[in-house]
Amino acid sequence: MAKTPAQRAAKHGQAATPASVPAVNTSTQRSPQKAQGNANLLLIAGSVASLFLFWYFHLLTLNQMTGLSGGLSMPDSMFFGFDMAHVEALRAAMDPDAMGQLQFVHKTAGTLFPLVFGLSAMTMVAINVAKKSVRWMLWILPLLFAVVQLSANVAIDNMLGAEKLSSSAVSLASALVMASWFLLILSLAGIGVALFIGRKRKAPSVL
């Protein structure tokens, strides 16, 4: 007669009883390769969205807005800033509807672009740079860009919509626009540095 597991354990000891092994659901485990693949997909989506928003905001919409200003450039597009004469001419050429359209652009694409770009740039730095101090240094650039770009949007709207134009408002808006372009270029350079560091870190060592 076959013995029960309890009888076999009493005769041969606990070693004779096969240990129960809990089932492992490997489908819920993520390999480093899969995690890296998900991060790459996120970066691709963020990069595509940033490029699209930059094109839509700076290259399409703001250029189209010149049709409502008698051919005068929008303040956001002026890399080297603008002066009082340009703003006065812009205020005289744009009617309330045109001003409202520019404010709407600032609240939509003008807000989404710096936020999406900033998050995408910070994610790219986080994935490629392991050293904490370097990572934080490269994170500061897109963070500052987003803050300055959003502040520039508000300053431009306030400047153009003010009842009386002041030189201080023009100087502030001009400085913020120039700073936003400068920080955008630095942020792109920081992304390049992060990619270089990441490629160097992941490169196989040569024996």
The DSSP result for 167-182, as a single string, is: HHHHHHHHHHHHHHHH
Instruction: State yes or no: pLDDT of 32 exceeds 90.
Output: no
Instruction: State yes or no: pLDDT of 28 exceeds 60.
Output: no
Asked if residues 155 and 87 have their Cβ atoms less than 8 Å apart, the reply is no
Domain extents for the chain?
38-198
Asked if residues 149 and 185 have their Cβ atoms less than 8 Å apart, the reply is no
Tell me the pLDDT tens digit for each residue of 161-191: 999 999 999 999 999 999 999 999 999 999 9
As a whole-number percent, the residues of the chain with pLDDT over 70 amount to 78
DSSP for residue 75: G
Band (201; pLDDT cuts 50, 70, 90) = confident
Report the first-to-last Cα separation within the chain, whole angstroms: 65
Distance CA 207, CA 200 (A): 16
Band (207; pLDDT cuts 50, 70, 90) = very low
Residues 133-143, mean pLDDT to the nearest whole number: 94
